[in-house]
Structure 1
């Protein structure tokens, strides 16, 4: 009963801000996303453990091994064109109320954990493995783990590599490449240098920027 009351209050408040018509469209989108979430849970009923979560249009979960496991907390919301791929004995754990924006990719063959209330911007890639170009055969994967804490903000176009731990309450700046340990309560920024060269001059002008 408390949940129903909360839904009614939230819907009324959103209707005042957005308008009734647009609030209905938004809620319809949520319901469709929840339905798609249940479809994936039905397809991979042996692999996925979850309650209510939403996956919008063209987002998908692909599991390619009977030993792979996915745990999704309640009220996880995944926007469009996201891809979760779990293979071998991979274990993907997503905490409750995690938000994952458009075009994100998660590739898991070992273990990836995303803590509750974490927000992930568009075009983020998270990988717990990479490829060893020196070993072209079947053992070409270098495997590690990725752990992302609670209440983390991850900016657009971030790449998170294997053997990375991000502590609670961190902010990862847009465009960063993250590998290693990011302590709790940290703003992580990759520093870069941009070079601009005049077409009529051989000299280059370097401008330091931080994203």
Structure 2
């Protein structure tokens, strides 16, 4: 597998990727699963109309042994903790604690994972 990009860091031992978009400023840990059409988005645009053409980079960090379901969206600046599960279709706008399952729009903690 060839993965490239500016400011994209991969520390991967084992992974399964079917991701729609990876932009710079993303760190992905070992043993991850990323489902079809999942989106990891690390850029946004300023609200100010004069600056809207510019990009704002906010890193996305995916921990070790994370499972991101199909059609999930991880927004800029989010960290997903080790062993977490992001349910299919979830919209993640805040950090996901380690060892938790999150789901929904917006994503919320559903339960702890032992």
TM-score range, shorter chain: 0.7 to 0.9
Higher strand share: 2
Q: Take 1:146 and 1:167, find their aligned partners in 2: how far apart are those partners?
A: 11
Q: Take 1:112 and 1:170, find their aligned partners in 2: how far apart are those partners?
A: 17
Which structure exhibits the higher relative contact order, with contacts defined as CA atoms closer than 8 Å and separated by 6 or more residues?
2
Pair 1:144 & 2:58 matched: yes
The match for 2:82 among 137, 149, 168 is: 168
Larger Rg: 1
Pair 1:105 & 2:46 matched: no
Contact 2:20 2:37 in 1 (8 A): yes
Three-state SS of the structure 2 residue aligned to 1:157 is: coil
Q: Take 1:167 and 1:185, find their aligned partners in 2: how far apart are those partners?
A: 7
Question: Residue 180 of structure 1: CA displacement?
Answer: 2.1
Q: Take 1:190 and 1:160, find their aligned partners in 2: how far apart are those partners?
A: 12
Structure 1: tracts of 5 or more residues without a match: 1-53, 56-60, 62-69, 71-85, 193-209
Question: Residue 130 of structure 1: CA displacement?
Answer: 0.9
Q: How does 1:51-200 map to 2 (within 5 A)?
A: 54=1, 70=4, 86-87=5-6, 90-101=7-18, 104-108=20-24, 111-137=25-51, 140-191=54-105
* TM-score (norm. length: structure 2): 0.79
Q: Take 1:97 and 1:121, find their aligned partners in 2: how far apart are those partners?
A: 14
How many aligned positions are there? 107
* TM-score (norm. length: structure 1): 0.45
Higher helix share: 1
Contact 2:46 2:52 in 1 (8 A): no
Three-state SS of the structure 1 residue aligned to 2:22 is: strand
Question: Residue 98 of structure 1: CA displacement?
Answer: 1.3
Question: Residue 137 of structure 1: CA displacement?
Answer: 4.3
Change (3 A) 1:159 1:136: farther
